[in-house]
Amino acid sequence: MTSINFEVKDQIAFITLNRPDKLNAFNREMAMMLQQRLDECQQDKNIRCVYLTGAGKAFCAGQDLSEVVQTDGEIVNKMLREQYNPIVWKIRMMEKPVVGAINGVAAGAGANMALACDVVIATQSSYFTQAFSKIGLVPDCGGTFILPRFIGWQRASALMMLADKISAEEAEKMGMLYKTYTDETFLQESVKIAEKLSKMPTRSLAMIKHALNFSVSNTFEQQLKVEDVFQQKAVETHDYKEGVKAFLEKRVPEYTGE
Ligand code: T3D
């Protein structure tokens, strides 16, 4: 059994964290394999959307704690540098949308990896927990950067210190995710979102993503310049020309991702 299932169908890469008996907790092999698959998604022009989910009843329970019992600070630091930081970086830099399909509990690194995705959707029964402080750790995977920006400093601070479990519904209300669906309709609805994204103008989506990345540290003036640069690039794409042509011809556009 491989710890990451990978399948490409109709230009969507389905990546499934696959250690269900451990609630898809990360061991080193799984972290390195996920990085490889994310690289493949970035490089393969045929892939126009990435769908990240978990096998079984969980999304991901974070680091496999049975693998770290004997670790010291040096090894943990290496773990972030070699395993987790590259994963969230690859998700944020990916020039195509990444759907975080949260099918169950998302804890620790699993919770923050979910937050790094572009469109985060969840089953009603799933929940999030910043589990780190419960075992004497600090949130990683960019959580201290992303979460306060999503839900505000106070709520992020409380969630990270208390390590409370937050239901998907509460998470949606707070702005941590886009939408929740019933467990029964989740698969169908979440795949529908990935299908829609995979048929959209991929380069425009990539530029939207990068513009948002820049926005967190830019001034308004700098951000206007970012929009200017990206818009110049967008108007040169095939898909922009097709979008305008299709609008004027009153037909559905056929985007190629170019
Ligand atoms: O050194 C470093 O760690 C640096 C890196 C840090 C990154 C991090 O992610 S730190 C945070 C690590 N994660 C956690 O602390 C979460 C631990 N898990 C839990 O708190 C709970 O399992 C959950 C809240 C996620 C789910 O609870 P529940 O009651 O639904 O399930 P359970 O019974 O606790 O777990 C089911 C099985 O999965 C169980 O195994 P068993 O008894 O059936 O053989 C449990 O041990 C295993 N499991 C769950 N999470 C982990 C895990 N095994 C290893 N590592 C885990 N993280």
Check residue 68 and give its pLDDT.
86
Residues 10 and 116 in one domain: yes
| Residue 237 phi, psi dihedral angles, 5° rounding | -80, 155
Ligand 1 contact, 137 CB (< 6 A): yes
| pLDDT tens-digit map of 116-174 | 999 999 999 999 999 999 999 999 999 999 999 999 999 999 999 999 999 999 999 99
Query: Is 257 domain-assigned?
Result: no
Ligand 1 contact, 31 CB (< 6 A): no
How many angstroms separate the CA atoms of 38 and 54, rounded? 15
Within 114-226, strands assigned E span 119-123, 127-129, 165-167, 179-181
| pLDDT tens-digit map of 54-65 | 999 999 999 999
For residue 91, the CA-to-ligand 1 centroid distance in Å is 23
Pairs from 191-196 (Cβ < 8 Å, separation ≥ 24): 191/12, 191/51, 193/99, 193/119, 193/121, 194/12, 194/49, 194/51, 194/99, 194/101, 195/10, 195/12, 195/49
Q: What is the pLDDT along the chain (258 residues), one digit of tens a residue?
A: 899 999 999 999 999 999 999 999 999 999 999 999 999 999 999 999 999 999 999 999 999 999 887 666 666 668 999 999 999 999 999 999 999 999 999 999 999 999 999 999 999 999 999 999 999 999 999 999 999 999 999 999 999 999 999 999 999 999 999 999 999 999 999 999 999 999 999 999 999 999 999 999 999 999 999 999 999 999 999 999 999 999 999 999 999 999
Query: Is 194 domain-assigned?
Result: yes
State the closest ligand 1 atom to the C-alpha of 165, by its place in the atom list counted from 1: 24
For residue 12, the CA-to-ligand 1 centroid distance in Å is 29
Residues 10 and 125 in one domain: yes
Please say whether the beta carbons of 62 and 112 come within 8 A.
Answer: no
- Ligand 1 pocket mutation pick from 65, 126, 130, 166 by most atoms within 8 angstroms of CB: 65
Count Cβ atoms within 10 A of the Cβ of residue 246 and give its class: 0-12 exposed, 13-18 middle, 19 or more buried: middle
Containing structural domain, residue 57: 4-198
DSSP run (H or E) holding 71: none
For residue 75, the CA-to-ligand 1 centroid distance in Å is 20
Alpha carbons within 13 angstroms on the beta-carbon side of residue 169 total 4
Ligand 1 contact, 65 CB (< 6 A): yes
Query: Is 211 domain-assigned?
Result: yes
Query: Is 176 domain-assigned?
Result: yes
Number of domains forming the structure of the chain: 2
Ligand 1 contact, 131 CB (< 6 A): yes
Residues 182 and 208 in one domain: no
Ligand 1 contact, 23 CB (< 6 A): yes
For residue 38, the CA-to-ligand 1 centroid distance in Å is 24
Residues 127 and 215 in one domain: no
Q: Which residues is 5 bridged to in the sheet? A: 16
Residues 166 and 218 in one domain: no
CATH number at residue 223: 1.10.12
| Residue 84 phi, psi dihedral angles, 5° rounding | -85, -45
How many angstroms separate the CA atoms of 149 and 140, rounded? 15
Torsion sign, CA atoms 91, 38, 131, 164: positive
- Ligand 1 pocket mutation pick from 17, 18, 23 by most atoms within 8 angstroms of CB: 23
Query: Is 128 domain-assigned?
Result: yes
What are the counts of helices (DSSP H) followed by strands (DSSP E) for the chain? 11, 10
Residues 188 and 218 in one domain: no
Query: Is 38 domain-assigned?
Result: yes
Residues 137 and 18 in one domain: yes
ipTM of this predicted structure:
0.98
